Chains A and B, each alone.
Chain A
Amino acid sequence: MSTSTIAGFTPLRVPNASSSTPSTHIIYARLHSGSKKASRKGKEAVLPEGRTLFLVNVPPDATERELVLFFKHAGTVERVIFDGDSGDEQVENVEDEDDSDEDGEGEVEEEDAEAEEDSQPRKKRKTGKGAAKPTAPEVILLPPRPSRTFRKTGGTAHVIFTDDSSISRALAPSKKDRPWPTDPESPVGLAHYAALHASLRPPLDVVKAHADSYMELFDFEQAKKKQQSKYRKGEAIVDDDGFTLVTRGGAYGQTVGGGVGVASKKFQSEVRQGNGKRHRSKKDPQEKEAFYAFQIHEKKRNDLIELRQKWEEDKAKIEKLKSSRKFKPY
């Protein structure tokens, strides 16, 4: 049992007794220290310094429950956040959960976060949210996927304890290596794949209920957005400084709210590609070629030079091939 640290990390040994050959997985642990950059208010709240343990090389299939069990001897774990980069969204998540009053905009971002959020079934959160709003229709869930997800190896995690004192206990060298606790509820291996295959094929009525309820919610959100939107039919959008926003979307090629015409997409793309020949198309090319004798002469000369250049290039190419002995036929 090594007590030495590596680059400030304490290696925690996790023996694997169940496999055919005994081996030891190493988790590197350190007290979480906030980023030196202007630490934001939210970040602080999510990863409270002092009681957050930062782990590197968490087993790829670790679940929150397994980590909680693993650190049970040190104290109670409040939350586990996998793969630090999803921390930002996590922040918002937490905040959102705190105050259930959120607007429609948040919804979209929220879902992004959930895509990243691995440890929990995808749609679960949404219901919670949907339920929080008194008026919003509820989304009926698809059956959850098997809860175990596999992250890339060598991943990181933040374990937030309820108590500061747990950290030292967690980092303290222990007499005996603690084995990795396995969560029996989320199977691995063949059983996992069988369950996954089955869970992706729910009964038809569930699918229908889910899709319908989702669309109801979607329509509801759309309607809400519409209500909140500043735009009213027939009125141009004017910002605080008094500028009218010219944006496509009105009828007959006019701006939203009408009044001003908007350039068509075709026109825009033509301009972008540089072939907006509208003005020049009628005129002749500006300069006549081969009009003066010197032009003819120059053109001929350039042609010859070009010819020679190509010849020289070819020659060089063949020389190169020759040196690589390519011309020995057999």
Chain B
Amino acid sequence: MALERKRKRGQDPTPQKKQRIPTVFQTNEDDGSIHSDDDEPMPSGSSVGDEEEDETEDNAEAMLVETSKPSGSAIKRPPTALELRDIKDATDLYRSSSFKLQIDALLPNTRPKYQNSAPLDRFLESLHTCFNSLPSISPRHPLEAAKALLKQSVAVPYVLPLPGQDTNWKVGFEKPSEIVLAGSWANKLAVKGTDKQRYTVDLGVEIPSSLLQEKDYLNGRFFQKRAYFLSVLAAAIMDKKSGLHSEAVFSSPSGDSRLTCLVVRPKTGSNNDLTKLNVDVRIIPTLSASSPIPLHRLSPTKANIRTTASSEDASQDAPSPVYNNAIHVATTPKLQLLRSHTLKGLVSAYSDALTLLRIWANQRGYGRGSRLGIRGFESTGSLWTAVLDLLISGEDAGFRKSAKRKPLGKGVSSYQLFRAALDLLASHDFTQDHIRVRAETGHSFSPDDYPANNPVFVDATGVNVLSSVPSGSLDMLRYDARVTLDALNEDFTAQDPFKDAFLKDHREFQTRFDVVLRVDLSSAKLRTPSVQSTIEHGSLYNALLASLLSKLRQGLGDRAKAVVCLHSACEDRALTETDPAHSPVIYIGLILDIENAFRLVDHGPRADDPDPEAATRFRDFWGEKAELRRFKDGSIVESVVWDVKTSDERTKIPYFVAVHILAHHFSISDTDIQHWQDPFDATLRLPESITSIYQVAKAETGFKAAMAAFDGLVKSLKAVDEELPLGVLNVSPASEMLRYTNVFTPIAVPPSTPSLPECAQYLQPMEIVLEFEKSGRWPDDLRAIQKVKLALLERVASKLMESTPELRATVVVGDPVSTSDIMDTASLEIITPQGWAFTARIWHDREAKLLDTTIDDRPHIPAHIKRKLPGGPDPKSRQAALEAKELYVRRFIHAPRHHRAIAALCHRYTAYAGTVRLIKRWLASNWVLQKYLSVEAVELLSAVVFLGSARKASSSSQPPPIGVPGTKERGFAKVIELLAEWEWDKGIFIPLYGDEQTEADEVQKGSLDISGRDGVWKISTEFDPEGFVWTRDAPDAVMARRIQKIATATWKCLQNLESGDTPVMTMFWHPEQQYDFLIGLNAELLPRYYQNIRADPSVWDRKGKYANIGSTRETRSSPVQPGYDPAQLLFDDLSRIYKDTFLLFRDPLGGDRFGGVWEPRLKEPRPFKILGKFSATPVPKDSGKDKSQVMLNKEAILSEVERFGAGLITSITQRI
């Protein structure tokens, strides 16, 4: 044992490893029994006596080293060259190491398990044999052929124009000339689809050239032959004799029956079961490069659809680029396979980058999914490969003199390649600026062949991959890429953009689009139907959508950044169905350009326009809305004017435009268009019958009017300045009503108002802060200061009343709850002649110093010394001072500053104010606002979705960043999403003050004591780095979880909105069953009841029922009592009295009900305590429990509550 006890001290060179000493030994050491061991000679030269002193210490140290060693040594060692390379690569090529690691973690989850593909290989083999053994079918009339196949219950999906009896071409079948495994599976590039979609294994089956003729490009003849070919294959697969045990269905990407292919899925349980691999085999008929159809006929300029009877008249037909492209696509599967194989070999990061790009796209609905996807992206797998191809191979110089895009280096990382792809998508406008990938063999068509104003992106195989993608969808793609790119460019330390880029589902409507319309197309009709365009787009439905989107795009113009159509993916159909089924409901999503979206007038051509057609076209487009107008500058211009009455309506202009176009061009009536703005607006509006009373009285309403009233008050204050003992230096507003964020638009109650019903008398006062010039005459005592404030307010009040005859001013001497005499409680209540109410308070900065002294009278002595010293401030007055200081800091330092910042934000982002109002209304109606969550905290949190949470300076001069909500509905949805997902324990930073200079001194002044806080929401700004000014006491952890729960439920509700069944109101209706007891109040006596979300008009319409009661109410002493809300007072009292007994909830906006939840800890009987803090009753004897136990006396408490609320409370119901 002793040998083990080596010392580290002195010159002992023994390695640390041997210093292990059992713990038992250490404890024994003191009793001397082992002491003799120490006398044995030591290997080290140190003396025994020396050791004894340091023994325990040394041992402890040795132990410490021992335990910390394993982890420590691995890190303390410098990295090896290999590791270093990895690290360097990660930081250099992937921007940050954690980003790279996250990518590495993500990729395996999105790839199929290729190692399990043996059954698939077997199945493909049997398919191959099956196809190759098929007998030929001699050419026959298409209808006849279809009839024959129908016996095997397989329909032939002929396309438009459908073959008739008089068709002179024939369809036949021969076994495929080649069968190729194509697509992403063959190259091991497959990426998991959204919503548990299966992987697809594309099988290219080449149509033998012998079946085709040169003229098959005309009038869809190729497609008819293709359809027949496919049907024969389908019949063969379904044939029991084939032994494939599979089901097959037709699938038409984007609902285009020309692209119909066959999806084969072996039955579960058969020996070919592929469910484990989760794949579908898709059979795509292809066209060989040596087919008789001449390639030049497929150029976009060629007209291959003959609508006129005589084929000689070909020059009159319009070109059919979409149609031509659909034929051309049939030649590509094999070429694309080869191409991507080459690229994969060329650039090692190709496969990873493609996977990242496709995950990114899938998360945003650019692909197939069971949820609504963006139109045009159902079958665009080749787009993503083409994008990467362009980056790697560079641009072909066909469209302009010199290719702008040079090929990227080969050694780029997947992240870099992905970023470059996003950059291309974000910056390139494919519609205006056609682009094509450089191909070794060159391109077959001339660049001029491609139609202008249509998206063109030609890949290496010569096909325009964007031919059927609406340009609005590309705008959206560009927008999304921009948003992600911005996030990636931001400082990584603030927020990891990885989650947002790849892991988050961005397909939610309500957070994605500013305006969403749900349109039922079943009754839609094209104003000018054309056979040619129907055939060009493959079906009437597709033609309608194409026209609809281009018309909407044109009509909305610069109001919208993107106009997107979303619909559910075209579902696979049984083999007996010839036509793909379209969902009649589509969704139109708009991303608004806030600067132009709410413009009132659209200008058309001038009256003296040289092109006489221009005016006609304009009138034709807008219908009866178009009118010739003369403007102020003298010009006479064709124009469309959208007349709006209220500011609510103004935000609906884009919606009006869309509705008008849909009605004018497609005769879609109002009832078929659903929109969610009106019900949201309704939650912010007062009941009709109340507003009409105000209208009669000609009351001033609106935020602007309130602000004008404030300015007026400031003016009259300045006017009496001379007569006051101290000059007014500053008047700063600090009220929601003066910064556009009050739930309801402010309304003045002029004295002339006819008697308002008692439940609608509430007049909300606006808080303002008066700052007087500095003076040495203030007393140096906190209590005296409060009295001087009273005196000052009294002077102001009497002077104001002298100068403005109808103005009423009253000094409010205290606070209904607090009785502290050092707290700032005095205020001045002013009611202007117009009926606006203000509450003015006086800010005296000396108070802060005095309070600080009371809290800590010896700041220069360090805390640990002070603790030992006697004396110090008495704890009670210290507590009072702490409370007073908190109020002071919040009321005088933060509130006015917060007010200014929020008001500025409202000016910068038009949707911000509305968002805050909706969120406040929502929180209030869910009974958490005010007591559990301050309105300022709500305003801050709502600012997150506008400002982002990154620490970057944004000044008002810059254009608003992309991705900012343009309407309050989207803002609302975004805040709800934030609340549902926010991990509040991590806190959030909001760059609210932006370019304002933050000085340490300023921050210091506004700092708040946050020790012992209950609040868990850390919302920090530049001036409040601690982040608890507005959330110090609430919400606590319980409430924060509760808010999160409510937000999650609401978020689910929002996601269901798109189905059209859920009314918006459900989010604002609070379920009351969850409360242990409900306290019903007499709605007639609540001055705020009219603001209730479910206010019942009959409450205030009960005139004449009890005539005598009505008359007594008329004789109230003071007609207007600003801020008087007895329900709130009662609520505050109850919450305070029973703080430890139950939690109380209510809607501060006119709620006529309190909900209470018993403190869960009090549910069980517990021993009696003197300071039990709850009203207890002894446990009944017969319960067999210990008789000194007591339990909550619920009945007595509730009857007490009833007593306190006498006159107000009508009922108390307990949940049983």
Inter-chain contacts of B1173 with A (CB < 8 A): 152-154
In this assembly, does B87 line the interface, its C-beta being within 8 Å of a C-beta of chain A?
Answer: yes
* Interface set, chain B 47-97, CB cutoff 8 A to A: 74-79, 83-84, 86-87, 90, 97
In this assembly, does A246 line the interface, its C-beta being within 8 Å of a C-beta of chain B?
Answer: no
B109 in complex: contacting residue of A19, A317, A329, CB < 8 Å: A329
Known interface pairs A19-B1202, A211-B788; A115-B821 also in contact (CB < 8 Å): yes
* Interface set, chain A 109-165, CB cutoff 8 A to B: 111-112, 115-116, 118, 122, 142, 145, 150-154, 156
Known interface pairs A212-B791, A318-B98, A327-B109; A4-B1196 also in contact (CB < 8 Å): no
Stretch at the interface among B378-386, B517-525, B864-872, B1132-1140: B1132-1140
A197 in complex: contacting residue of B194, B874, B1121, CB < 8 Å: B1121
B1175 adjacent to A142 (CB under 8 Å): no
A23 adjacent to B97 (CB under 8 Å): no
B505 adjacent to A154 (CB under 8 Å): no
B362 adjacent to A151 (CB under 8 Å): no
B787 adjacent to A214 (CB under 8 Å): yes
Known contacts A16-B1196, A189-B1130, A207-B794, then 9 further A-B pairs from the complex at CB < 8 Å, ordered by chain A residue: A25-B1175, A112-B880, A153-B1138, A193-B816, A193-B1130, A204-B810, A211-B791, A215-B787, A311-B79
Stretch at the interface among B199-207, B776-784, B953-961: B776-784
B1137 adjacent to A153 (CB under 8 Å): yes
B779 adjacent to A218 (CB under 8 Å): yes
B1198 adjacent to A305 (CB under 8 Å): no
A118's nearest neighbour on chain B, judged by CB, is B819
Q: In the docked arrangement, what's the CA distance between A18 and B87, Å?
A: 78
In this assembly, does B550 line the interface, its C-beta being within 8 Å of a C-beta of chain A?
Answer: no
A150 in complex: contacting residue of B784, B1167, B1204, CB < 8 Å: B1204
B97 adjacent to A122 (CB under 8 Å): no
Inter-chain contacts of B810 with A (CB < 8 A): 201, 204
In this assembly, does B797 line the interface, its C-beta being within 8 Å of a C-beta of chain A?
Answer: yes
Q: In the docked arrangement, what's the CA distance between A145 and B819, Å?
A: 10
A153 adjacent to B97 (CB under 8 Å): no
B783 adjacent to A308 (CB under 8 Å): no
Contact with A along B1131-1153 (1 / 0, CB 8 A): 00100111111000000000000
Known interface pairs A204-B811, A314-B98; A154-B788 also in contact (CB < 8 Å): no
In this assembly, does B178 line the interface, its C-beta being within 8 Å of a C-beta of chain A?
Answer: no
B505 adjacent to A330 (CB under 8 Å): yes
A189 adjacent to B1205 (CB under 8 Å): yes
Q: In the docked arrangement, what's the CA distance between A16 and B87, Å?
A: 76
Q: In the docked arrangement, what's the CA distance between A7 and B1169, Å?
A: 8
Inter-chain contacts of B1126 with A (CB < 8 A): 190, 193-194, 197
Q: In the docked arrangement, what's the CA distance between A188 and B1198, Å?
A: 15
Contact with B along A188-209 (1 / 0, CB 8 A): 1111011011101110100110
A70 to nearest B CB, angstroms?
A: 15
Kindly name the residue among A23, A122, A327 whose own CB sees the greatest number of chain B CB atoms within 10 A. Answer: A327
B1196 in complex: contacting residue of A23, A191, A210, A330, CB < 8 Å: A23
Contact with A along B1166-1182 (1 / 0, CB 8 A): 01101111111110010
* Interface set, chain A 6-26, CB cutoff 8 A to B: 6-7, 9, 11, 16, 18-26
Q: Could you pull out 9 A-B pairs where Cβ atoms are within 8 angstroms?
A: A23-B1196, A111-B783, A153-B1137, A190-B1207, A197-B1121, A207-B794, A305-B79, A311-B90, A329-B362
Inter-chain contacts of A18 with B (CB < 8 A): 1199, 1203
B1203 adjacent to A189 (CB under 8 Å): yes
Q: In the docked arrangement, what's the CA distance between A132 and B1209, Å?
A: 46
In this assembly, does A56 line the interface, its C-beta being within 8 Å of a C-beta of chain B?
Answer: yes
Inter-chain contacts of A176 with B (CB < 8 A): none
A200 in complex: contacting residue of B106, B816, B1137, CB < 8 Å: B816
Q: In the docked arrangement, what's the CA distance between A56 and B1177, Å?
A: 12
Q: In the docked arrangement, what's the CA distance between A19 and B784, Å?
A: 45
Q: In the docked arrangement, what's the CA distance between A274 and B1174, Å?
A: 49
In this assembly, does A272 line the interface, its C-beta being within 8 Å of a C-beta of chain B?
Answer: yes
A6 adjacent to B1187 (CB under 8 Å): yes
Kindly name the residue among A211, A212, A214, A312 whose own CB sees the greatest number of chain B CB atoms within 10 A. Answer: A211
In this assembly, does A61 line the interface, its C-beta being within 8 Å of a C-beta of chain B?
Answer: yes
In this assembly, does A230 line the interface, its C-beta being within 8 Å of a C-beta of chain B?
Answer: no
Known interface pairs A26-B1176, A215-B791; A329-B503 also in contact (CB < 8 Å): yes
In this assembly, does A290 line the interface, its C-beta being within 8 Å of a C-beta of chain B?
Answer: no
A207 adjacent to B811 (CB under 8 Å): yes
Kindly list the 10 A-B residue pairs having the minimum CB-CB distance in the complex, ordered from nearest. Answer: A189-B1206, A190-B1207, A19-B1199, A23-B1195, A211-B791, A314-B98, A25-B1196, A308-B79, A193-B1126, A189-B1207
A19's nearest neighbour on chain B, judged by CB, is B1199
A208 adjacent to B1177 (CB under 8 Å): no
In this assembly, does A326 line the interface, its C-beta being within 8 Å of a C-beta of chain B?
Answer: yes
**What total count of A-B pairs have CB within 8 Å?**
260
Inter-chain contacts of A154 with B (CB < 8 A): 1140-1141, 1171-1176
In this assembly, does A100 line the interface, its C-beta being within 8 Å of a C-beta of chain B?
Answer: no
Inter-chain contacts of A6 with B (CB < 8 A): 1168, 1178, 1187-1188, 1190
B787 adjacent to A218 (CB under 8 Å): yes
A61 adjacent to B1203 (CB under 8 Å): yes
A211 adjacent to B1175 (CB under 8 Å): no
A58's nearest neighbour on chain B, judged by CB, is B1175
Interface residues on B, range: 35 or more
B87 in complex: contacting residue of A11, A307, A321, A328, CB < 8 Å: A307
A263's nearest neighbour on chain B, judged by CB, is B860
In this assembly, does B813 line the interface, its C-beta being within 8 Å of a C-beta of chain A?
Answer: yes
Inter-chain contacts of A310 with B (CB < 8 A): 97
Inter-chain contacts of B101 with A (CB < 8 A): 314-315, 318
B779 adjacent to A153 (CB under 8 Å): no
Q: In the docked arrangement, what's the CA distance between A145 and B1196, Å?
A: 27
A153 in complex: contacting residue of B1187, B1197, B1199, CB < 8 Å: B1197
A26 adjacent to B1196 (CB under 8 Å): yes
A208 adjacent to B75 (CB under 8 Å): no
Inter-chain contacts of B1196 with A (CB < 8 A): 16, 23-26
B1085 adjacent to A190 (CB under 8 Å): yes
B512 to nearest A CB, angstroms?
A: 16
A321 in complex: contacting residue of B105, B110, B793, B1181, CB < 8 Å: B105
A317 adjacent to B98 (CB under 8 Å): yes
B1203 in complex: contacting residue of A188, A214, A327, CB < 8 Å: A188
In this assembly, does A59 line the interface, its C-beta being within 8 Å of a C-beta of chain B?
Answer: yes
Q: In the docked arrangement, what's the CA distance between A198 and B1117, Å?
A: 10
Contact with A along B100-125 (1 / 0, CB 8 A): 01101110011000000000000000
B195's nearest neighbour on chain A, judged by CB, is A330
B84 adjacent to A304 (CB under 8 Å): yes
Inter-chain contacts of B783 with A (CB < 8 A): 111, 218
Known interface pairs A193-B1129, A194-B1126, A328-B109; A115-B819 also in contact (CB < 8 Å): yes
A323 to nearest B CB, angstroms?
A: 10
In this assembly, does A57 line the interface, its C-beta being within 8 Å of a C-beta of chain B?
Answer: yes
* Interface set, chain A 256-271, CB cutoff 8 A to B: 268
Known interface pairs A61-B1204, A153-B1197; A211-B787 also in contact (CB < 8 Å): yes
In this assembly, does A60 line the interface, its C-beta being within 8 Å of a C-beta of chain B?
Answer: yes
Inter-chain contacts of A111 with B (CB < 8 A): 783, 821
B102 adjacent to A327 (CB under 8 Å): yes
A302 to nearest B CB, angstroms?
A: 9
A137 to nearest B CB, angstroms?
A: 13
Inter-chain contacts of A329 with B (CB < 8 A): 106, 109-110, 192, 359, 362-363, 502-503
Inter-chain contacts of A326 with B (CB < 8 A): 503
Contact with A along B609-639 (1 / 0, CB 8 A): 0000000000000000000000000000000
Known interface pairs A152-B1137, A154-B1172; A23-B1198 also in contact (CB < 8 Å): yes
In this assembly, does A2 line the interface, its C-beta being within 8 Å of a C-beta of chain B?
Answer: yes
Known interface pairs A19-B1203, A28-B1168, A312-B75; A211-B1085 also in contact (CB < 8 Å): no
Contact with A along B385-402 (1 / 0, CB 8 A): 000000000000000000
Inter-chain contacts of B790 with A (CB < 8 A): 207, 210-211
Known interface pairs A60-B1137, A153-B1137; A189-B1199 also in contact (CB < 8 Å): no
* Interface set, chain B 816-851, CB cutoff 8 A to A: 816, 819-821, 829
